[in-house]
Each structure stands twice: as C-alpha cells, then as structure tokens.
Structure 1
C-alpha cells in the first residue's frame, strides 16, 4: 500500500499490536492447561466463544433456548433427549415476555399466578405450536389453622402436569409463598429460585454444545504430523447454520495431549457456574451456562470417549455388551445379538470397572489387568497411564519387600516359617503394598491433590479427569448412549465401502470398464453430488473417499447386472441404497413410522450381508453399529445433523494455521491465531464487544459490519452463506444473447396445444436458465420435478401433484418480479406398482405437456433411464476437451433406445423425505428380507459353528508354520554368517 502511495499506512508492528489489542478487548485469550498426565496445551474455551454468539447478530437471531414439541423433527431441541430426558435443572430456567414486559422474569419451581387468578408452579419451559408454553403443576389455596396461627397452605395436584401458554402468567406470587407453605412430594419448589439471586435482574439461558475430537495431520504433505484437535458446535442453532464452516468453533490442539486430556480442560465450562455476556437482541447483559449434549466422532474416537476397548476387542461395542469370543459369536444367542442391541453399558458400571483395573494394577500382575479389561471390554486411556506406573512400582516394591533376600521382610527369611503360614505372610505383604499404592495413586497428580487438600476433602477417592475419563462423570452426559452413529465413517466409509469392495474385487479390466462407462452415463441432476469421475473411481477403487461412496450409494444399483455381481450382492446394493436414503433425511414428520421403516432397512442390510457372507458381521464392527441408529435418531434427530463432515472440512483451516505456526509452541500459536480469526469474524459480522478503555459495549462502523454481507470472497473464506441468496419461486434469465424473446406460441414451438395456449397471452417472453422450486432447488430444463397442476384428474381443491420433466421456463419481457415465471413441463405418470428388478416406481410418459407457475413447482428429484428393460446399447461420442481444446479421442456412452420409461430413483439422498411424503405408502414402505429373522440367524450360526473352528485351526497352523519357517531362516542365516567369518555380535 505504501508503494502505491496510500497515505497513513501503519507499520507491520503497529498492525499486529492493534490486532492483539482488539482480540484482548473482545475477550479471547487461550488458557494454559496441564493435564493429569503432565502434558501442556492451550485452549480457547467454549464459554468465551459462546459469549460471542450472543453478541453476534448473524448468530443470535437463530438461537433456540427451549425444547420444542413438534410433529416434524429436524433439530436437536425437537428430539427425545432434549424434550424428554434432560434434567429440569439443565434447561433454561427463566422466561420473559420480551415484547410486553421484558423485566418480569418467571423462573421454574417458583410459585406464579396466572391471568385467571389460579396459582401454578412452572417446572419446564417448552415451545409448542410455535409459542413458548410452561409445563406446570397447579396449586390449590386453603386457609388452615396451624398452632393457633393462620397460614396459607398451597397444595399441589396429584402429580398432574398441565401445559399453559407462558404469556398467561401474570406475576410471580412470591409474597404468597413467603407467608405460607408449599407441599409436594417429588419436587422441591423454591421461594426464590437460586439463580434469580445470581442473575441480579439479568436474563439467564442454558445452551448445549457438541464437542468433536479427532487426530488430524498438521501437514499438508503426505508426511503425517499427528495433532489431536477439538472443535465444537452450538446445538441451539439450526442445522442449516451448523452445516456452514462459519459456525464451527476451534477449541484446542496438541501434538501431545490426548482427547480425554483436552476433554478434562473442556469440562471446566460444564460446571454449574454462570457466565455473563452481552445479548445484541435484548440489548442487555445476560447470564448463561453451557452443557454437553452429544459426542459425534469416528468410531475409534468414540470408543476412547466411552473408555471401551474398541472394534478389535472381544467385547467391542461402546454402547451395549454384545460381542464375545469367536466361539461365543457363533452360538445362536451370540450371533443374533450382533444384529440388534443387548444390555446397554452405563457410566457407573464403566467407572466401577476402571477402578477395579487400577486396584488390580497395584498387585503388579499385568495379566490380571489385561484379563479384567478383556472380560469387561473397558479400557480407559487416562487410567492406562496410572496402571503402567502402578505395575512398575508394585513389582519394584514387591521385589524389595517380598522376593529380594537382602531386603525382604524378616519373616520370609525365617526358615522355620514354611508352607501355608509363609504363603499367608507373603499374601499379606502383597496386600499391604497394594493398599499403599492405591493410596499413593489417589494423591496423584500431586499439584491437583494439593488443591483438594486445601478444600479439606474428608475422603479423597479416584477422581474423574485425574485418574479416569472425565466424560463418565459429566452431568447430563452418558458417553455410551450419547456417541451416535456417524454416517460419514460408519455408512460411507463403512457399509458402502464394504459392499463396493465385495463387488469389484472379482472384476477384470473389461468388467471395470463396463461399469465405468455405464456410471459415467448416469444422470446426476437432482442428486447434489459432484461431477462423476467414473474412470477414476474404478481405477483407484480401493482409495475412494466419502464423496465417491455417496455417489455409488445412489447410482451403482442402476449400472449393475449379472455380468458385474451376483443376485445376492445385487439385493444387498438395493437394501444399502434404501438405508442411505432414509438416513440422510433432513427432517422427520412421522417419527414412529420413520423409526419402524429405518429398523426394517437396517435389518435388511444386515440380513443381506448374512446371505452374501455370514462371517462379515463377526469381524466388521461398523455393521453392528447400524442397529443402534434408530435409537440415535429418536434421541438426537435426523442423522445429518450430527454428521461430522463440516468438522472434517474445517481441518483445512487448522492445517494452514499449523503450517504457518512457529512449530515451537504449536498449541499456543495455533490457538492464538484462530482466536484472532474469531475476533475478526465477530467484528465484520457486526458483533458487539466491550473495550477495557471505555467499559461500554460497542460495535464496528457500518462499513465494517456490512463488509461480510457485501463481499462474496470474504463469505467464502469464512464459510458463511447468505440465507436470502435463493428465493423459492424466483427464476434466473438467460444471458441477453440467449433469451430468444418471442411470443408465447413461438416460445412453446411443438409443445403448443389447447392446454398450454391458456397461458402467456398479451406479452413477449424471455427464456430462463432455471427456476427455484418451493423446496429451494435449482430446476433447469431437463430436471425432474413434482409439481401441482390444475388438471381434469385433480382432487377437490383443483390441484393434483404430478411428476414431470421441465422443458423450459419463461419470464415476461420487462418483468417487474422474477416470481412471475411459467414453466413448461412434460408429464410422466408414476406407476402403481414397483418395478420388480429395482423395487422402485416407474415413470411412464403420459403424452401431455402442462404449464406450471413457479410457486407450484414443489421439489426436484432424480430419475434414471430404465436401460435394463430397454437394453440400451453403447455408442462412441467425442471425448472430453483437453487444455480447453477439442480432442480427437472418443469415449463410450449409453445410448437410450427410447425416452418413455424411467426409474424414480428411491436411493437418491436429495429430497428423499419429500419423495416419500408425496408417493403412496405402498410404493415407499420397505419390505423385510426375512419373515423370521431369528430362525435365519440360527441357520447362519449353525453353519458358522461347522466352518469357524476349522478356519481358526487352519489360521493357527499357518501362524505356527510361519514362526517355524522364520526361526529356521534365522538359524540358517547365522550359520552362513559364521561360515563366512562375519561378526554376528
């Protein structure tokens, strides 16, 4: 800027100094932590970042503070855990009418008077039909004489919870409750809610977050530079927001500290204390708390968060107690258990197991600890550190006091003490050492124990965070139940990857080329997938990533036939596609029916796997996770809202910060850099902050705070999307040179008829590039849509939902609104039955062209030509352009024989929920693979009991033979070296 002659350009030092001052004023400073294992790292704490959410107008308007009862579940606060399970003390305790009486704050468990004069005690604020309600216990008022003194007695109803509009509350009836008694068994109402005194007139809210942890490389090259990262997202924001990188918040990173060590530091924010923040909507200071809601991550990290042994262990499941030895899994009970859920794990049992492991380690026998871990499937990463130390100490002390003749207890050196008496003395010494070591470990780490001593803890015990996983003792969090199935790693990189490998492992080059040519010819419109690179996917079939499997999941079944896979494997592909379509629902309107359907398709996938390979579920833990998904969806909402792709995408930001860090203090340097980024993001978003110099809440000038909303490049770099960018019902014109302005009859050309002639008179029409459907889809010519049209077959309201393919969209010339477009659609009839080959409805040409207004276009879907029925051949076409030049190369594509028959793609993820709401139930209801699953599982288990032992014996024999061969080779190598006179030392 100086070289360009810009006046008043600050020095680089001054710029950095100002940035540091602004970040400090905003209140972001990484905090130093030393873990119980001695590792040091820095963290940007969630309470500091959530505080910015309240002061950021781009975030605060979208925050929801109360659970919501609704028929459609699409967000965390609408699902079962938020609505039904969370303890009342972990929900927002206060409500106020911010429009009429913002300073009258109503708290739960306080007596309140309604507008009709009745008395109630609210126990929970909940949104119902779009309005805040209070779930209350109604109270009756009676005058009684107690010890010759008249008092007011308030008696609650018989545990009956009523739901009333919160706006019906008139006042806090504190004066009445002060002079009387409140009696109720099961709940303790307050005269004053404890938080009222803490808030001191300020509004109070409770938020919930989902922390995410994973190991990430700090390098952009292939050389792995391990860091353990932790991010989080605010679950009180809608999923449309959380799917944007703008709303991902970085907490910490460390090349040394594990996830559980960082969780221990994070747990400080989950304490019952309250934090002050500025609310830019209420324009006043508020108080808030933060709690953990769920723990999304990949399966190894979730096993660590639950302190379980992981997928390679005997008892492999983090959520239930399924698994066991190979022989147990081949029994009828053991095999069937893998297809469902059995006794669930609890944090209390897990903690009890961890404590028994630590106690056993004080005996100094590693095998004893290993046997306990194998028996329970529990293995805690924090306690493992202490177990190793205890084993070493126990052996050393036992050697000194029990086994070393020079230092051992004198009684053991007395030769007159023999037999059982000597054994008793020895066992007593070992037990004494065990108790000493257990007391020693309780006092570790020393600095943390000293803090407890200062607090005069009368009975110190093993402590969460210090000796074992802190997540097992976090209020309102059950790691076993709150670690849901993550669709990226479990479905795309699990189930999809398995079936893809099972399919292509037998292909030769010709079969691979055949599949690639077919896949490249598939239509992707209506799928929201990147452009297909079929040749790449076949060439590097063992190195695909999530986006490739997402495309295969939706399209592969249309390309497969007897030349490429067996009928059993083809059925597995069909079941897998149905599962994917259900799991990617963005919203669920009928939860009971959805869960029933999901259970059926999960069972179908596992049962079809059992047909293809009955041993697969014995070895692939990700298949066993599938039966848990219905419960996860019921408790947390649709699976995409707790997917981790957005966190994985945010790793690119971290890597850039890591590459540019000082590499001496990476945790501090990266945390500081990202804190500066958060400060910049906050200020350009119009956020408020309070500088130390003034003490007043301020925000940047109008040009700074509108910079983000005006600058597309900055939006892209911060990962923020303008919510008003796409308006349903609008249309986009073609460039002027391609609009072909004409009359209605000329515009329609061969599609002009009596029905279409009813529209478009009296003006000229411009051709459009696309129209936006009611669901927000970009619908271009060739797109398949469901739309409403006034036809002779219509229902009573005059509108019938029809399927069709868009031919063109037109907008009146010199239009004043892009909402006045008309779309020409070729009608296709949806078959009354499913095609037996693919179990999908057919789209058959109806021979009719209709006109629809933009508001009547409902949503877009994907359709694939029925090449299997029409026996479509290949033809050669010009190959792709190279270096922006036409090449003489050709490529094979499918040439469709006819244009009258298509499959409605029921495996498509985009708008899968809308498709199933529109079609008749008989076309969408999944059908079970087996009428009696248990009997079939017993058959598979019986077959495994015959083949399993033989395979294991063969494996053992091969292992022994390999050991013998290696031993023989080593001996021969040494002998040869000796003959040559080589030094073999």
Structure 2
C-alpha cells in the first residue's frame, strides 16, 4: 500500500502528484510556472533564502527594528529553555558508583609533575573552536561593514547573533543598505566557515552543507566532482546573470578568437574554487544558465534540408535582424529610405538600385517622423491616393511602423528564401532602439556578393567555356565567331544585358527538353545559351533518366505523354526544381551580382600580370625585386608588414593580402625587369585598382559616367564634352587593351577580363564597389573556423551554428541590445529588456575585453589628438621627456616667431589627422597652411605638444606641373631645392598619403649591408638593402588604395586622370583580331598536322604488327596470328 505524502507547513502547497511543493509567498514573483516548483526536501532551505525573506518582507512590511526585537525575544526564549533544562538535570537522583582502584603513577608522570612544580609552568584552557570562529567572524564583519560606513558594525554584529544580544539603535530601513548588509553577512558566514575548515574544526562535508543551507537554490543540486558554490545571489546590476562571476564565465565561454573546451572550463571553475572566489557555479549550473539565456534572449538554430536531401542548420535571420534593430549601437547605422545626396556617393542607398530600379513594394512604403505626420505608401501617392484605403498592411501593423531591411545571402538560399518570404505576410516584431518603439520589419535581398563561380551559380549561368560566357550579358559566340572583328571588339564592352526572366525561361525550356530523355539536346542548348543552372541540373539529369526508364518500361508509349507526365510532376515541385534566386522578388541575379574586387581584381587581373612577370625572371631578377620590395616606404599604405622573401618564395600561391601589396608597390620595382608592354600593364592595373577602392565618389561625372548614360541629365553631367571617357572607363579600357596586346586570346579565354566592362554599371547600381566586396566575409573565416575547432564534426553545421548564435547573443547583451521579456505589461503589450549596467559598462571600461571581442570605439579620435613619447627613466624615476623650443627643428620654421624660444614642449609619437590617420614622424601629409589656408604638402619632421594642444612642423614640398616620365605619377620636390619648415596646428592635418623616393632618377643601388635578424637578434648572416641617394625628389604613389580619393581631390586632374592608350580602339581591336585569327589558324594547322602524324604512326604500327599471309609458305605462325587477329576484331 502506497503511503500518503505528509502534509506540508505554511506557506507551501503541494503538486497533484505530491512530489513537488510551491511557496505561496514567492510564486507570484516568478513568471514561469515550472520555475515555481521545488522538491519537498528544499522547503527548509528555501525559507532561509534571501529571495524568500525579501518577498515575505514585501508582503508583511516588518521594519528592521521589529526584526531585531523579534530576534532578541527568540534568543531570550531559547535562553530560558536552556536554564529549564539545566535545572532539570540538577534535580536528577544521585547514582552511587564504585570508586575505581587507585592507579600507580609511572616514573615519567612523576617526572613531569616534578618539572611542573620546580619550573613554575602554567597551563591555558583551550578556547572553544565555535567561539573562536564566532569572534573572528564578528571582527571580519566589523571591518567590512565599517568600510561600507553603513552603521555601528559592532552593534549590528551582536544583533544578528555574533555575541550577546543588546538593545541597539538601528538606522532607518533602506533597501540599498539592506542589500549591502546582506552581502556583508553572507561574506561573514562564508569567511567564518572557511576559517573553521582551515583550522580543522569543520569537515569538508559539513562545510558544503553549511554553504548549501545559506544558498539561494531552487533544488538541492550536488556540484560536479570539482565542486562549486551553489545558488549565488541574484544581482540586478549584472542581469540577466545572477552574479558577476556567472557573467564573466559566459563571456569567457563565447570569445570569438579563443575557444574554451568543456574540460578547460571545468579546470577554470576548479581554480576559482580553490582560490576561494565567491559565487563560483558548478559546471552543470553554468550550462543550465546558458541554456536558459539562449531560450529567452538567444538566436534560434533551425534544421533545414536542401532540395537534394542534404541536412544542415542555419541561425534564424529574422532574429539576427531583429537584434540589429534592437541594438542602439547598430540601429543608428540602419537606413530604410533611398537618399538623393548632395555630397559624396558612399552607400548603396545613394545609388540607382534603391533610387530607381527596385520594386517600390520591396522598399519601406511609409514615412514615420514621430510627429503625427500622415503615413502614405509610395503607391498611394503615385496613384492619386484615394482608391485603396485603408492600407491593407494596417491590419497587422496595429499602429506600428513597417520597414524593409535588405540583406545579402548567397549560400543555401532555398530555405533562406522561405524565411524571407514569410516576413512579407508576417513581419518581424522587434524593438527600435532609435525611437524606443515596437516596429515591424520585412526582409528582402539586396545583392549577391560572391566570387565568380558562385555568382555564376546564383545567376544559373554555365561554369566553364560557353559560347556566351558572361553571366551579365549575351556577348560572345562560337570560338570562330569570337575571332571575327565584330564579336572580338564586342568582348571589350558590355553587351545586351541578361535578365532573370529570360534566364528562368531558358531553364524551363531545358527542363522540358529533359522530359524527352535526350541529354545531348539539353547540353547543346546549354552551351549555346550559356545557361546551366547548378541547382536545377540534378533534377534535369533525374528527369532524363526517368524519361528513359519510362520509355523502356512502356515502349509503345509516346514521348509526348511521358513528357506531360513528368512536366506535371515538375509543376507540383517547382519550388524544389527551380533556382530560388530566379524567383525572388526584388532581386535580379544577373544585375545584382556585382564585380567582386577580391576575386576579380586581386585574384584576377593583378594575379595575371604578376604571374606573367615573375614567371620569366631569373634568380638574379627575383633577388633584385625582393630587395627593392623590402625597401618600400609603407607609411600611408595601410598594409601588413612586407615580407618580400616570402612573396618571392611562394610567388604562385599568393593570397589577396599579399596581392594587395603587390598591386600598390610593384610598379616602382619592375621597371627594368619586364618588357615595355608588361610595364605599361602594371601601371594600368595599379591605376584601375586604386580607382575601384574609392570609399566615396565625390563627382560621379568625373569618376565614372559618360554623357551617353540614359540618366545623365539627372546626374548633372557636363554635356559640353560629348566624346570623353571618364576615369574608370578609361582605366578599364587601358587594362583590357594591354592584356589583349600582350596576348590577343586572353580577352576571349579569361572571363574576368570581360567582366571588367560591367564595372561602370555596377558602380551606378550599388555605389563604390568596396561596399559590396566579399573581403569583409573572408575576414570572418577565422571566426568560422574557431567555431568548428571543438566540434566532433558529426554535426558540423549545427555545432558551428550553435556557437555563432551564442556569440551573437553575447554581443547583443554586451552592447546594450534589447530582447523581448517573458513578462507582459498591464496593457498587454510586449516588454523589452536589456542587460544590466554592469554588463554594458564592462565592455566600455575594459580594454582587454574589447580587444578579445574585436570591439572598436564607435567614436573615432578627434583631429589633433596626439600620443606622447614614452617616458624615460631618470634619477630613479620615470620622467616625461621635454625639449626647449629653441633646440628643435621647429624653431627654424617660417612662422616660428609666434612661439617663445625658451618654452618647454613634449615630443609626441603621432598626431591624428582629420581623416582619422595616425601620422608619425616621417609621414607625408596634406595640411592646411596657417599662412593662406591653402592645402600644403610636406613630410612631418616633429610633433610637439604643450598642455592639451600640439603643433606639427613639416618639410614643405611642392607638386611638379608634369608627371614623372617613367611612372606617370605626380612628382614632389623642394622649391629651389631649399629646405623650408612650416608649423601647422595639430587640427590642420588633413590626411596622410604614400610617397616613394625616385630611386630611378637618383640611381639608388642595393649597396647597403646589414645583419639578418633571426629569433629577434642579429645573426652572423648579412643582407643587402637599398641606400637612397641624396636627390630630394619623390613620387606620389597614385596606385595606393589608402586615401586615393583624397589625394586626387587636391591635385590637378592633368596629374592623376588616366590617359587613353589609343585614340581609335576599334581599329586597334581589328588589328588584334587579325593577329588572333592568324595565331589560332596556326594552332589549328599544327594540331591537324599532329593528329595526322599520330594517325600515320598508328597505321604504320598496326601494319607492322600484321604479317603477310601466304598459303604457299605454309607458315603455321602466320595462320595462327591471322586467326587471332580475326578473333580480336570480332571481339
């Protein structure tokens, strides 16, 4: 018979099964029902928790004085009970026991007593360990509460049980004081407990029991084998974490560059425990807390299955976008409306896709200025407003603003497309950190940044050699047709544009052909059109096989009936069969896969010219290039440290980072190592690369657009020059023409060259191409790999998605992002919460944490900010170096009279320019002259500071009126070859740029020798380096990417604008086409001769292997050989 459960005391109530109990005092304060229940064994522990006492205090409002009085009464009652028990013991009857026999003392005992009496020794009675721990704990609490300056620590210590109770005066009840006292009391108990444990008066099991009974736990949880402090107190400062320790452990577990395994985390917890740290959770409790955070403020991870049946996981993009809107640091950078800017074009919302080409329904259709202005959709305004009111979107908006957020995706798009389209009918509900209101957000595709093979897949284009090889246009033809003058010339320009409607129609036609079961027909059509969709291709192959099998199983069935049956299946499964990119609203794959800088420029044309150069060099030439490259001035280049020997050693395997260095600097080092045409190509590639890395376009007319563009009147074009080509067009033309002149076949074999012809239209559509470069995604690869390093790779995408989701949630909490709370307001609306001030301020105040998370201060350093030179040791202490103004080069400046010659100044390491550059001594800068406010070019000689301001002295140089005869770049020299110093205010520095010494004109040679540094010390080996001659002539590096737009803005256009190579490009292209035909005819002739020669050799070999058969000879071997040959032929 089952025994019924014992009744529970107040204020508890039991669950229906009798196994769990719930506190009626605390339950109303716990939002989740499962969290309200606890084990029956936890009742006594729960009554002692701070949370229960706080809730009981809130319900009964017992003052602190009353609680002290009640404690005194309880202590008096306990003392009276002890006195009664003592009296009862005294009244017990006497028991007469036999006295023990006297024991004879040993010689040792007698000697001990004699020694005691002779020497007058004394004994002390040992103190009770409990009393000793109590006194030590009272002293510890007295010190801690005294430091807090809360009240009389001694009186309060007595009031809470450390010693005899007395009547004391207590201050007024203050929640903040109560919280500090609660923390002090808990620490005092912990300290007393640890003291007893160290002195041997308490066992470890008793100590764990003591810790448990003073913990705030929902259930009696046993720590893992490492142990841990259970039930830490709830700290609102570090919400949603219980304690600061829990917060820091979660931070440690989600570092993007440093992954912590479970075993290592257990070691950390053990170390913290052994060091006596407070609030150290067990490993189980830590993981439980992280799981809880993920459920209510994390990013969901969704399982998906591709059309071919592959299983993978993704993080919900709706939640990620919602967190961006709810994050104050991110929200201010989110734009929802197109802009017609009067200033530079720097973002996609300045360009034509948002302004002219996008479907209006895919943009934010309402305007919300927060002042009650009527909100109209664009369609309503264009149509005259009255016909479709109210707006149907108001049915689910319920007064909330609705916006559109454009995102970029290019992998596993089918499932992403479903999620994106779901937001069109059910928008994302999120918190707008800019307006502090709840808003709705729809998602649409913006662009598809990818390398060229991936871009071809997105567009459904054939990867490899096709008759029409471009994914963006229909240029091309058969190989013979490409050799003709007309088609060959068309390869240098953009052809008739492709559209996603045409591409989808072609894919549908191929699917219909596949239903006939003839693969060759489909292949012929794919080659002719250039459309071969990688997503649909597996289904095409399956349809071909199914059609063949159906025809084999039913020979009498017509091809048309089989086709109709298969097409019916395709119609039912068209979402699985056809490429999702081709059916996405607001996204045109052929136009929205822009030219990608990393893979088309650096890993394309730069790599081509680099290989064409170094592959012909001798060992001496390679060594010469390496020495020159290592001597490059890198100030103003914003590149990594140059390792020239590494670049030459792995010349065929360079990555984008190294090719970026090669593109910006090689022109100064290869002038006598390559042919004239190759050197001209180096200059053209460097010039184009710098133009494409512009972060902003100040004058679109000058930068890009010719007057033949259909929107030239909207872009304020200068119609007085109808035949001109602008910078980017000219630079692209020069690159293509030079590649073709070196090898005419390159233009039809390397599709990356033709893709350059589409640069102009992509810039018009998206703005500067650096804004859609995949280089940003490539930099994320290290994070992606670190998320996989601790996985067992049985579920790789899931493990990576989980870790990325945790990092996303941690980033959101650290930066002050909001998330939907589990609570609901009185009006029924959602409640949005964020992390506590301790969490948010921690990232702002801890530089180490910022570095570990890759966080940069959103507030850049103000212009004129300087960094002082390091302190030096003098007279046993560190001293800030200072100089007398009269002893510096600054005193020789033209405007030095404005400063006292005896004033003291501090040398500085750097000064911050208006562009944000940190300019050091030796940097070349453009500054604003204090004499006439004009732009002045010079090299920094000194940076000095006095108080909170700094001055910069520069060696003034002037730009020559003509370009360098070899490098085609602006030159710098001193006026009359005289050194002139000029003092500029620190805030007058505009930007830094790169300059190289004119070693070609000066005749600089590699005649310097220095020891090779190995293991950070100088070895016995030596290396040579360039020693610059005394000629003070320099060249402005217009191939440098950094501040390329700024240096071109201050220099005259005749010094920087690209110069067309040929006045009549068509005539040149016809010449190159003729050369191509001649070379291709020669190749075909040689190939035919080679094939004929092989055929003759084959026939001769076959004839030699067959002997002449003669019946007269009677040779049995001949007959046998002839018979075996007949058998082989039959076989």
User: For the residues of structure 2 that align with 1:550 and 1:966, how far apart are their CA atoms?
Assistant: 52
User: For the residues of structure 2 that align with 1:338 and 1:723, how far apart are their CA atoms?
Assistant: 45
Tell me by how many angstroms 1:212 deviates: 4.1
Q: CA 1:390–1:921 in structure 2 vs 1: closer, same or farther (change >3 Å)? A: same
Tell me by how many angstroms 1:506 deviates: 0.8
Q: Within the alignment, does 1:778 sit opposite 2:907 as a pair?
A: no
Tell me what 2:446 maps to: 293
Q: CA 1:279–1:267 in structure 2 vs 1: closer, same or farther (change >3 Å)? A: closer
Q: Within the alignment, does 1:807 sit opposite 2:941 as a pair?
A: yes
Tell me what 1:685 maps to: 815
Contact 2:1002 2:1031 in 1 (8 A): no
Tell me what 1:732 maps to: 867
Q: Within the alignment, does 1:627 sit opposite 2:757 as a pair?
A: yes
Alignment of 1:41-190 (within 5 A): 41-70=312-341, 71-98=343-370, 101=371, 104=373, 106-109=375-378, 122=381, 184=384, 190=388
Q: Within the alignment, does 1:22 sit opposite 2:293 as a pair?
A: yes
User: For the residues of structure 1 that align with 2:386 and 2:744, how far apart are their CA atoms?
Assistant: 55
Q: CA 1:352–1:971 in structure 2 vs 1: closer, same or farther (change >3 Å)? A: farther
Segments of 5+ residues of structure 2 without an aligned counterpart are: 1-271, 705-725, 825-829, 873-878, 1106-1120, 1122-1131
Q: CA 1:678–1:956 in structure 2 vs 1: closer, same or farther (change >3 Å)? A: farther
User: For the residues of structure 1 that align with 2:788 and 2:374, how far apart are their CA atoms?
Assistant: 47
Q: CA 1:829–1:674 in structure 2 vs 1: closer, same or farther (change >3 Å)? A: same
Which fold has the larger relative contact order, with Cα–Cα distance below 8 Å and residues 6 or more apart in sequence?
Answer: 1
Contact 2:1012 2:1020 in 1 (8 A): no
Tell me what 2:52 maps to: none
Q: Of Structure 1 and Structure 2, which has the larger fraction of its residues in helix?
A: 2
User: For the residues of structure 2 that align with 1:622 and 1:930, how far apart are their CA atoms?
Assistant: 22
Q: CA 1:311–1:932 in structure 2 vs 1: closer, same or farther (change >3 Å)? A: farther
User: For the residues of structure 2 that align with 1:972 and 1:649, how far apart are their CA atoms?
Assistant: 64
SS at match of 2:1013: coil
Tell me by how many angstroms 1:897 deviates: 1.3
Contact 1:94 1:105 in 2 (8 A): no
Tell me by how many angstroms 1:304 deviates: 0.1
Q: Within the alignment, does 1:928 sit opposite 2:1060 as a pair?
A: yes
Of residues 612, 633, 641, the one that matches 1:502 is 612
Contact 2:322 2:430 in 1 (8 A): yes
User: For the residues of structure 1 that align with 2:1053 and 2:596, how far apart are their CA atoms?
Assistant: 28
Tell me by how many angstroms 1:693 deviates: 5.6
The alignment covers a number of residue pairs equal to 801
Alignment of 1:422-821 (within 5 A): 429-444=558-573, 463=574, 465-562=575-672, 564-595=673-704, 596-692=726-822, 696-737=831-872, 740-748=881-889, 752-759=892-899, 763-791=903-931, 798-812=932-946, 815=947, 817=948, 820-821=949-950
Tell me by how many angstroms 1:36 deviates: 2.7
Q: CA 1:956–1:467 in structure 2 vs 1: closer, same or farther (change >3 Å)? A: farther
Of residues 397, 402, 406, the one that matches 1:199 is 397
Q: Within the alignment, does 1:279 sit opposite 2:432 as a pair?
A: yes
Alignment of 1:382-421 (within 5 A): 382-402=535-555, 408=556
Tell me what 2:989 maps to: 857
User: For the residues of structure 1 that align with 2:606 and 2:1096, how far apart are their CA atoms?
Assistant: 39
SS at match of 1:822: strand
Tell me by how many angstroms 1:108 deviates: 2.4
Tell me by how many angstroms 1:62 deviates: 2.0
Tell me by how many angstroms 1:702 deviates: 0.6
User: For the residues of structure 1 that align with 2:781 and 2:848, how far apart are their CA atoms?
Assistant: 20
SS at match of 1:607: helix
Tell me by how many angstroms 1:903 deviates: 0.4
Contact 1:730 1:772 in 2 (8 A): yes
Contact 2:421 2:443 in 1 (8 A): no
Tell me what 2:1118 maps to: none
Q: Which range moves more in the overlay, 202-211 or 802-811?
A: 202-211
Q: CA 1:359–1:270 in structure 2 vs 1: closer, same or farther (change >3 Å)? A: farther
Tell me by how many angstroms 1:856 deviates: 1.2
Contact 1:33 1:265 in 2 (8 A): no
Of residues 934, 948, 967, the one that matches 2:1080 is 948
Contact 1:46 1:269 in 2 (8 A): no
User: For the residues of structure 2 that align with 1:728 and 1:198, how far apart are their CA atoms?
Assistant: 48
Tell me by how many angstroms 1:645 deviates: 1.3
Q: Which range moves more in the overlay, 801-810 or 316-325?
A: 316-325
Tell me by how many angstroms 1:491 deviates: 0.3
Tell me by how many angstroms 1:929 deviates: 0.8
User: For the residues of structure 1 that align with 2:465 and 2:1101, how far apart are their CA atoms?
Assistant: 31
Q: Of Structure 1 and Structure 2, which has the larger fraction of its residues in strand?
A: 1
Tell me by how many angstroms 1:914 deviates: 0.3
Tell me by how many angstroms 1:727 deviates: 2.3
Q: Which range moves more in the overlay, 907-916 or 697-706?
A: 697-706
User: For the residues of structure 2 that align with 1:883 and 1:203, how far apart are their CA atoms?
Assistant: 62
User: For the residues of structure 2 that align with 1:955 and 1:366, how far apart are their CA atoms?
Assistant: 29
Q: Within the alignment, does 1:900 sit opposite 2:1098 as a pair?
A: no
Alignment of 1:371-382 (within 5 A): 371-382=524-535
Segments of 5+ residues of structure 1 without an aligned counterpart are: 111-120, 124-182, 214-258, 403-407, 410-428, 445-462, 792-797, 974-978, 980-985
Tell me by how many angstroms 1:592 deviates: 1.9
Of residues 995, 1001, 1009, the one that matches 1:869 is 1001
> What is the RMSD of the two structures over their aligned residues, measured on CA atoms?
2.7
User: For the residues of structure 2 that align with 1:856 and 1:955, how far apart are their CA atoms?
Assistant: 68
Contact 2:924 2:940 in 1 (8 A): yes
Q: CA 1:753–1:602 in structure 2 vs 1: closer, same or farther (change >3 Å)? A: closer
Contact 2:893 2:983 in 1 (8 A): no
Q: CA 1:959–1:686 in structure 2 vs 1: closer, same or farther (change >3 Å)? A: farther
Tell me by how many angstroms 1:960 deviates: 8.6
Q: CA 1:651–1:930 in structure 2 vs 1: closer, same or farther (change >3 Å)? A: same
Q: Which range moves more in the overlay, 519-528 or 878-887?
A: 878-887
Cα deviations by residue, 1:473-496 (Å, 9 ceiling, x for unpaired): 111110000000110010000000
Contact 1:733 1:767 in 2 (8 A): yes
Q: CA 1:753–1:665 in structure 2 vs 1: closer, same or farther (change >3 Å)? A: closer
User: For the residues of structure 1 that align with 2:921 and 2:531, how far apart are their CA atoms?
Assistant: 57
Tell me what 2:19 maps to: none
Q: Within the alignment, does 1:208 sit opposite 2:406 as a pair?
A: yes
Q: CA 1:545–1:744 in structure 2 vs 1: closer, same or farther (change >3 Å)? A: same
User: For the residues of structure 2 that align with 1:109 and 1:800, how far apart are their CA atoms?
Assistant: 46
Of residues 951, 957, 973, the one that matches 1:822 is 951
Q: Within the alignment, does 1:889 sit opposite 2:1021 as a pair?
A: yes
Q: CA 1:923–1:66 in structure 2 vs 1: closer, same or farther (change >3 Å)? A: same
Contact 1:310 1:317 in 2 (8 A): no
Contact 1:784 1:803 in 2 (8 A): yes
Q: CA 1:441–1:965 in structure 2 vs 1: closer, same or farther (change >3 Å)? A: farther
Cα deviations by residue, 1:394-444 (Å, 9 ceiling, x for unpaired): 111212332xxxxx46xxxxxxxxxxxxxxxxxxx1222222222233334
User: For the residues of structure 1 that align with 2:481 and 2:608, how far apart are their CA atoms?
Assistant: 24
Q: Within the alignment, does 1:913 sit opposite 2:1042 as a pair?
A: no
Q: CA 1:264–1:285 in structure 2 vs 1: closer, same or farther (change >3 Å)? A: closer
Q: Which range moves more in the overlay, 708-717 or 643-652?
A: 708-717
User: For the residues of structure 2 that align with 1:600 and 1:649, how far apart are their CA atoms?
Assistant: 31
Tell me by how many angstroms 1:107 deviates: 2.4
Contact 1:340 1:624 in 2 (8 A): yes
Contact 1:263 1:471 in 2 (8 A): no
Tell me by how many angstroms 1:613 deviates: 1.4
Tell me by how many angstroms 1:969 deviates: 12
SS at match of 1:802: strand
Contact 2:894 2:982 in 1 (8 A): no
Tell me by how many angstroms 1:656 deviates: 1.8
